[in-house]
Amino acid sequence: MTNFKASPARVSILLMSVASIMILFQTIGCSSGKQHGQDADTLTSVSSLFEEDHVWKGPDSSMIPKGDEGKLISYGRELLIHTSKYFGPYGSISINTNGMSCQNCHLDAGTRPYGNNLGAVASTYPKLSPRSGNTITIADKVNECMTRSMNGSPIDTATKEMQAYVSYIKWLGKDVKKGE
Mean of the per-residue pLDDT values for the chain? 85
- Reported as a single tens digit per residue, the pLDDT across 94-142 is 999 999 999 999 999 999 999 999 999 999 999 998 888 999 999 999 9
Output the CA–CA distances (angstroms, integers) from residue 21 to 28, 32, 33, 34, 90, in the order listed.
11, 20, 20, 22, 59
CA nearest to 157, candidates 170, 167, 148, 172? 167
CA–CA distance, 135 with 23 (Å, rounded to integer): 51
* More confident site: 28 or 178: 178
